[in-house]
Amino acid sequence: MTPRTLHLAEPVDGLPTGIRGWTTTKANGSFGLGNGEPVGAVMGRWGALMADLGDLGIERLATAHQVHGAEVMTHGAGWRGWLRGMDADGHVTVAHGTALAVTVADCTPVLLWHPGGAIAALHAGWRGTAASILDRGLDALAALGFPEEECGVWLGPSICGRCYEVGPEVLQAVHGGAHHGKGLLDVRAVLAKQAARRHVATVRTAAGCSRCHQDRYFSHRGGDAGRMLGIIALS
């Protein structure tokens, strides 16, 4: 029998009342929909996740086919079940009873919240970070009446700066300027600086590295085909 997902996931501590967050781990198995694993096994994990969320009074789960971009979808109420949108890397909602999830395996799961009742989930690799997906998420929250200086940001387990060597074109895309030769890139540090520039109230970074700690996390750089989830829910 598939283990219940949230019992094995890492919780995000210190969130406001009515908001919960988690990152799944290797113990949960993969949530990737395109890695060649038997369909029944993968869908069983998604079913277990939906059951766990249902126990918490969450009746909607929004996800999307991710494209390493900066498109952010805003979700309302009036529907139930599991939504998989097209070509988006972020989600925002103020609808209670809704969870948002992004899939990762070295990219950063970025969870945002406002204590007044708004949440967002972003998938931030180097491309999304260079394209300012964090700004897009904060802008979407602000458009709904939740200013960035009252929001919190959590940067989840992802590949650390010591493990992530990239080419000069990546360094230029993320940092600007001219770069010659390969270098190390700490995507979470860049995201933290972007959040600070927006005067976000709280920025927290998880300690885990997907490549350093492959016993616990999936790592694309480490040769894993699996995918984890970053999840935030508004009850």
Three-class SS of residue 24?
A: coil
Q: What percent of the chain has pLDDT over 90?
A: 95
Assess whether pLDDT exceeds 60 at residue 20: yes
Question: What's the rounded Cα separation, in Å, for the pair 176 and 189?
Answer: 15
Token pair in block for residue 118? 């708004």
Show the domains of the chain with their CATH numbers.
17-234 (3.60.140.10)
pTM over 0.75: yes
| Contacts for 99 with CB less than 8 Å, ≥ 6 apart | 53, 58, 60, 61, 62, 231, 232, 233, 234
Confidence of residue 36 (pLDDT cuts 50, 70, 90): confident
